[in-house]
């Protein structure tokens, strides 16, 4: 159900924008399936805290594994299918929703399955063994189970409202809705899309941009805290002892050297493994998570009315989606 989960805020790549926001678009709302348990040893505790689900604001983002969230994905495709038929794509009349559910559209010829640089966890690599094997290119784990699906250029444009230069904004003489049939479907489920907002130089849009905005602001505030800065220094000192010089984990994970090849170099693997080990040895994740969680709790308190209103709207949308699915049955 990536259309309302991992793809809700298009254009984000977590590894490249970690300094702006500790969220991955590719994993933003498809929260970790990691289970919470008591009695952690320090390393287990670090792994547990290094997930989206461990933060207060995650309560205001959808759980991609829930039945309601999956119903929204199904309803979106039901409505998008009707829209595509209306636009003149008659083949969609016989389209089986089973072939498209839990998928998101990509333009034919542009699909590239890659483990790009940048770990999707909020604080980056935290497993020295995995880092030694993959560097900063850990295979993405999407808890929603969503997969990309290629579509011909004309169908992709109609589904998404994304056009390349020179392409017509009409399909078989019919105007393509704003953000395509997938976007029109979401508006029918959720209602009008909230106004976009600019965060860290990037314009965010979508039904969950409010929670993302507060997340960004809390993260920015948390990084100014003395405890966070002290954690960065402790981690940096640990890295120096291992022969690596970076002021903080963000600088290590976004080193431009890692973007020069399709596979991690030996240097990248060594750096990532040292990064993960230093996080564990200095209790980096536990420290910065505590600071950021406090900032998020304050953000929730200050903005509870707006967040609760958004949550109520989400609940109405889920009810709309269930009705659409039930009516089809």
The DSSP secondary structure of 190-229, one letter per residue, reads H-SPPPPEEETTEEE-STTHHHHHHHHHHHHHHTTSHHHH
> Looking at residue 152, what is its pLDDT?
96
pLDDT given for residue 116 in this prediction: 57
Q: Which domain holds residue 197?
A: 2-328
| pTM, to two decimals | 0.79
Q: What confidence score (pLDDT) does residue 315 get?
A: 93
CA dihedral 18, 63, 187, 149 (to 10 degrees): 70
Q: What pLDDT is attached to residue 62? A: 83
Tokens 């999956």, residue? 70
What pLDDT does residue 40 have?
A: 57
Residue 311, helix vs strand vs coil: helix
Are 182 and 76 in contact, with CB atoms under 8 Å apart? yes
Predicted local confidence at residue 110, as pLDDT: 81
pLDDT of residue 153: 96
Q: Which two tokens stand for residue 1?
A: 């159900």
The mean of the pLDDT values for the chain is 85
Select from 194, 39, 76, 73 the least CA-distant residue to 142. 73
pLDDT for 112 equals 53
| 253-291 pLDDT tens trace | 999 999 898 899 999 999 999 999 999 999 999 999 999
Q: What is the pLDDT of residue 115?
A: 45
All residue ranges of the chain with pLDDT < 50 are 1-39, 113-115, 141-143
Q: Give residue 115's region: left, alpha or beta (phi > 0; psi -120 to 50).
A: beta
Among candidates 297, 293, 292, 285, which has minimal Cα distance to 231?
285
In the prediction, which pLDDT does 206 show? 83
Domain count along the chain: 1
CA atoms within 13 A on the CB side of 12: 31
């Amino acid at each position: 159900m990536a259309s309302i989960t991992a793809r809700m805020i298009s254009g984000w790549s977590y590894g490249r924008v970690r300094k702006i926001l500790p969220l991955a678009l590719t994993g933003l709302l498809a929260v970790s399936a990691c289970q919470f348990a008591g009695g952690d040893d320090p390393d287990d505790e670090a792994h547990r805290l290094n997930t989206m689900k461990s933060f207060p604001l995650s309560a205001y983002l959808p759980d991609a594994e829930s039945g309601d969230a999956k119903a929204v994905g199904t309803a979106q495709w039901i409505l998008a299918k009707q829209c595509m038929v209306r636009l003149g794509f008659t083949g969609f009349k016989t389209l089986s929703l089973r072939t498209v559910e839990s998928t998101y559209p990509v333009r034919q010829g542009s699909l590239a399955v890659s483990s790009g640089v940048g770990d999707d966890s909020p604080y980056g690599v935290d497993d020295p063994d995995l880092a030694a094997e993959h560097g900063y290119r850990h295979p993405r784990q999407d808890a929603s189970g969503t997969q990309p699906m290629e579509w011909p250029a004309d169908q992709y444009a109609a589904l998404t409202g994304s056009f390349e230069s020179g392409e017509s904004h009409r399909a078989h003489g019919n105007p393509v809705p704003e953000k395509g049939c997938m976007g029109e479907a979401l508006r029918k489920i959720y209602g009008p899309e909230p106004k976009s907002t600019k965060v860290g130089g990037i314009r965010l849009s979508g039904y969950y941009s409010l929670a993302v905005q507060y997340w960004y602001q809390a993260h920015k505030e948390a990084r100014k805290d003395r405890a966070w800065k002290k954690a960065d220094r402790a981690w940096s000192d640990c890295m120096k002892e291992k022969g690596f010089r970076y002021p903080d984990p963000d600088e290590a994970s976004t080193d431009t050297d890692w973007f020069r090849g399709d596979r991690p170099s030996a240097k990248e693997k060594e750096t990532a493994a040292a990064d993960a080990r230093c996080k564990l040895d200095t209790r980096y994740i536990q420290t910065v998570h505590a600071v950021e969680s406090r900032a998020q709790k304050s953000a929730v308190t200050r903005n509870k009315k707006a967040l609760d209103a958004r949550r109520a709207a989400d609940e109405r949308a889920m009810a709309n989606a269930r009705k659409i699915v039930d009516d089809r049955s």
